[in-house]
A and B are shown apart, each in its own frame.
Chain A
Amino acid sequence: MITMNFLNQTLLWGIAAISVPIIIHLLNRRRFRRVPWAAMRFLRVSVEQNQRRMKLEDWILLLLRCALVALLALLMARPMMEGLSGVPGSKVAVAIVMDNSASMGSREGEDTRLDLAREAAHAVLARSPGGSPVAVAGAFRSHEATNDHELAASRIDGISQTDRHADLLHSLEEAARSLGGQAAVEKELYLITDGHAEEWGGFAALEGRLRDIAAGITIHLVMVGSPAPGNLGISRLTPAATLPAVNQPFRIDVDVTNYGGSPMLDVPVRLLVDGQPAGEQWVIDEVKPGRSESATLYATLPAAGYHRVTVALEEDNVPFDDRRTMIMRARDNVNVLLVDGDPGAEDRESETFFLRHALVPVPVQEREAYPVKPRTVSVSGLAGEELDRYHAIVLANVADVPLSFADRLARYVEAGGGLIVFPGGNLRPESYNTLLHRKHKLLPVSLVPRDGSSGARSRTAVPTETNPLGLDGDLLAGVDFLQGVELQAGELEYRQALRYDDGTPALVESDYGQGKVFVFSSTADLEWNDFAIRPAFVPFVNRLLGGIVLNRENSLNVEAGEALRHRLDAALAGREATVYEVGDPEAIGRLTTLSEREGSAVLEFDHASRAGAYQATVEGEPTSILFAARPSLRESSLALLGVEQLGRLGDSVTVSRWGASSGGDSFGGDRKGAELWWPLLLVVIALAAIEIVLAQWFSRSK
């Protein structure tokens, strides 16, 4: 059935402009010059003879002009016939969304899926009528629609591969929204994707949302690529929470997951530091389908500063997750302030004696070269200390927290410092709870003295399931905890790192601004436990410190597509930084300006869409800042939309598979509407020509 409609209905008001020629006609009749005249009899006879003809001519011209104006208004309103095709000049509004998520980097022979998507997009463009507005978008970024198809083609070529996870439904909605603003007989939305199931969210919700999007828009789902035979990917890369020091080997835990359906045997895992192979590769004997296996690698950072630590598998057809990089900073100097609340009569009796030795677990002659530099002060000596020069502050059995110190401490931790609290017999919980828990919310828990009777029972501590510090449960099993304070949860968030065998928390951690806080429930000396003389104590203390120091580098490691926010010295605020992708000689640097926020300069960068290392050079600064993006884990799975799922999309979506043989013949083949502007324009031109000729003809002498 053929029905007529208008694409710019508002412009139909332009028909009211037919009053213009009428007004001009009437005004012209009022505009005359008066001439005294003698030969009136001849004039009157002439007028009488021509009166009817002149009136008729006036009416014809007036009607022609009114029709011309009305047709022009109709033309601007862009009339269209639904159900009619084959009218020349009909345009369609086209939106092409190319999935450029990580999975589109999968290899299909010589090409990637994104290469195939580009071919399909060019085919769509080639089948769009000339002058039709075409909007080209990637999964994460869209362009304004353009009538210039050469520009659209260059935009298609400019859609680059990312290692990000895409929410394609969101991309579809964005594209549909932009199409909604277009005036065209037909609106076509082409989503070119590999049909990676992870990118479609909950499928039940998807069907309904697609129906909403498809209102007035024809959605074409163009599938490219074929299912990958298998995929091994790095699913975890975690440095052990030890302090990365110069030339001190530290452990890196790696998980390798088999996303395919076949077992993978003898999987080598390599480590690279700053792009150079480091240590020996780890070979995993077998990774079963759907399972993960761990590898442990040891890296040594050759010099102080930031380093790229990369773990790599042999590249397979899904390459983006075969390599992962993180930035680590090797330090040659880690300052720790130990606040001793019970110095004792001699050194061995001091509250911090075991802590000092645990922090520097090397012979005396090597202490100078060892990066950790502890300094012990009493509470009274705190006033003269400049807190910002310390990486961590340990409060060991400090009775009361001075009011002024509590304020300084909160500011220090918020700016990125670390705080470790060890209780003891001197500690008065009320002071901590009032100032550090309730006032500054620095401690995530309140400290409650334990009942004496229950405190007499010996307890052991075990790592929690997450075990963020990577503590060895076996080593901890031999430690007797006789007494402690109860870490009582409040409204603040925290994570348990250790718990007692009765389930109560032994060690909690929380983030505070840019810093980190650890609260232990027992002493750092032998007063309430024998932890300090057990083998587990040294790694425990070092991992606490490592957790604090590594926390500072966390902001340098983001997921691809996630915005980087890294704090720098406040003096750098306002300077420009140039960011390059490391290892890509053709990468074009992007400029960003360091903003000022909460007393620091912040490097912000939200264009890290490829996994790997990036280098930011700040204007006037000799050393660069390294940061890394990791690929999205959700893209590693091989699950594609199945036939059954695609079938459920129903009539709202036309599904086709792109292949060299199909050539995109079906694109635009079902267009069922036509714009009438072209024939209408011909009529307008014809009427204008007739009007000109008639006006000349009528105005000649008669």
Chain B
Amino acid sequence: MDAETRKLLDPRAIARAEALGMNARFIVEGYMAGEHKSPYRGFAIEFAQHREYSPGDDVRHLDWKVQAKTERYYIKQYEQETNFVAHLLLDGSESMKYGSGEISKLEYGKMMAACLSYLILHQRDAVALGIFDEEVREYLPRSDNRDNLFRIMDRLARFDPVGGTRIAPVLHGMASQIRRKGLVIVISDFFDDEEELLEGIQHLRFKGHEVIMMQVLDPFEIDFPFSGMVEFEGLEDIPLVRTRPSQIKKTYHHEFEAFRERLQLACERHQCHFVGLRTDQSLDEALANYLSFRKSTAG
């Protein structure tokens, strides 16, 4: 595990989350035991599919019959997977590069994705990872193999943003591709067309997925603490804006908060969970917040 990967796994955050008793596995297994109301009802007995082997998969799960017939390696997934599959979708657009402090939104999102992956895999659940901007740039299929964690970290660490944001097509694509109901966690600043974004969420919800929208924001984006004459340079090829921020601060706050409120209301309307995150907020708090939510929805 190289330095970049270590950086993504915040041991304190994970330890803190476990200590709080927020156990993701408990939530999923609770569903399996029928103890809890779950969106994955009847899911476990239906699923069976083959997936092409990829390096890192456990060879014990190879379907030798298929190999004998086709001479190709497929994994019998029903034998290994649980009912809980989490699809982590991380916004890797250029707007996520912004960071007023030591850490950018993307770096925070990467850490968030890494921690969630670790937790989920640690509970022997499956995780799929997608990093997108205007389309999906990186994708790792679902896997419950803990060894897969290394690859997730590696992909996250290697990723460099290059493009603008278009979340909706990605969500639509995911809704079409994911055949089994699961949990879709979107980590983004959601600086995109609101209507299209909500249509994408609606699509996922229509397919029966539970959706968690984690909005990662920089404190400066929330507080807008600039003074003097400032030229703002858009990170996604947006023209420059030169202004005196102090004179528009209230309007900005108003617009920004209205956007967040609209987003939260839409999430409520579509029964998906909205989690607001600040990059100056410790990651364990964010995880605790998420797991608390999961527990409450499970309960």
- Chain A interface (Cβ < 8 Å from any Cβ of B): 28-29, 31-47, 49-50, 54, 57, 698-702
Contacts and interface: CB of A to CB of B under 8 A. Distances in A.
A38 B230 contact: no
Nearest to B251: A46
Contacts of A34: 230-231, 233
Nearest to A701: B249
B266 interface: no
A36 B229 contact: no
Given A38-B234, A57-B247, A701-B249, 4 more contacts: A37-B234, A49-B251, A50-B247, A54-B247
B135 interface: no
A702 B233 contact: no
B230 to A, nearest CB: 5
A29 B252 CA distance: 21
Interface of B: 94-98, 105, 189, 191, 218, 221, 226, 228-236, 238, 241-244, 246-252, 255-256, 259
A47 B250 contact: no
B108 to A, nearest CB: 13
Q: Is the interface of B mostly helix, strand, loop or mixed?
A: mixed
Given A36-B98, A40-B238, A46 B252 contact: yes
Contacts of A44: 238, 241
A49 to B, nearest CB: 5
A42 B252 contact: yes
B171 to A, nearest CB: 19
Contacts of B226: 35
A32 to B, nearest CB: 4
Contacts of B95: 38-39
A701 B249 CA distance: 5
Q: Which 10 A-B pairs have the closest CB atoms?
A: A38-B98, A701-B249, A32-B229, A38-B95, A46-B251, A37-B232, A46-B248, A40-B234, A46-B252, A40-B238
A31 B97 CA distance: 26
A39 B248 CA distance: 14
B235 to A, nearest CB: 5
A36 B233 contact: yes
Main secondary structure, interface of A, reads helix
Contacts, number: 101
A31 B230 CA distance: 9
B15 to A, nearest CB: 31
Interface hub of B229, B230, B244 (most chain A Cβ within 10 A): B244
A50 B259 CA distance: 19
B233 A28 contact: no
A32 B243 CA distance: 9
B100 to A, nearest CB: 9
A44 B245 CA distance: 11
A702 B253 CA distance: 10
Contacts of A702: 247-251
A34 B230 CA distance: 6
Which of B96, B236, B251 counts the most chain A CB atoms within 10 A? B251
B242 to A, nearest CB: 6
A56 to B, nearest CB: 11
A42 B242 CA distance: 14
B228 A42 contact: no
21 contacts: A31-B229, A32-B231, A34-B233, A35-B231, A36-B97, A36-B232, A36-B235, A37-B234, A37-B235, A38-B95, A38-B234, A39-B98, A40-B236, A42-B259, A45-B251, A46-B248, A46-B251, A50-B247, A54-B247, A699-B247, A701-B246
Given A32-B242, A701-B246, A38 B251 contact: no
Contacts of B228: 32-33
Contact of A50 (B221, B231, B236, B251): B251
Contacts of A32: 228-231, 242
Residue with the highest number of chain A CB atoms closer than 10 Å, among B221, B230, B248: B248
A45 B246 CA distance: 15
Nearest to B248: A46
Contact of A38 (B105, B247, B252): B105
B253 to A, nearest CB: 8
B256 A42 contact: yes
Given A29-B229, A32-B229, A39 B247 contact: no
A38 B246 contact: no
A37 B233 contact: yes
A555 B241 CA distance: 93
Nearest to A700: B246
A91 to B, nearest CB: 45
B241 A40 contact: yes
Contact of A39 (B191, B230, B231, B233): B191
B241 to A, nearest CB: 6
A35 B233 contact: yes
A367 to B, nearest CB: 111
A54 B246 CA distance: 11
B246 A699 contact: yes
Contacts of B97: 36, 38
B232 A35 contact: yes
Contacts of A46: 248, 251-252, 255
Nearest to A32: B229
Contacts of B236: 38, 40
A698 B248 CA distance: 11
Nearest to B104: A38
A701 B247 contact: yes
A47 B248 contact: yes
B255 A38 contact: no
B164 to A, nearest CB: 11
Nearest to A50: B248
Contacts of B252: 42-43, 46
A671 to B, nearest CB: 52
B241 A47 contact: yes
Contact of B189 (A35, A38, A43, A49): A38
Contacts of A698: 247
Contacts of B232: 35-37, 40, 43
Contacts of B246: 699-701
A569 B242 CA distance: 89
Of A37, A42, A49, chain B has the most CB atoms within 10 Å of the CB of: A37
Instruction: Determine which residue in A28, A38, A43 has the highest number of CB atoms from chain B within 10 A of its CB, and name it.
Output: A38
A281 B105 CA distance: 123
Nearest to A41: B191
B250 A38 contact: no
Most buried by B among A32, A36, A46: A46
B230 A35 contact: yes
A102 to B, nearest CB: 77
A57 B259 CA distance: 28
Contacts of B96: 38
B235 A38 contact: yes
Contacts of B251: 45-46, 49-50, 702
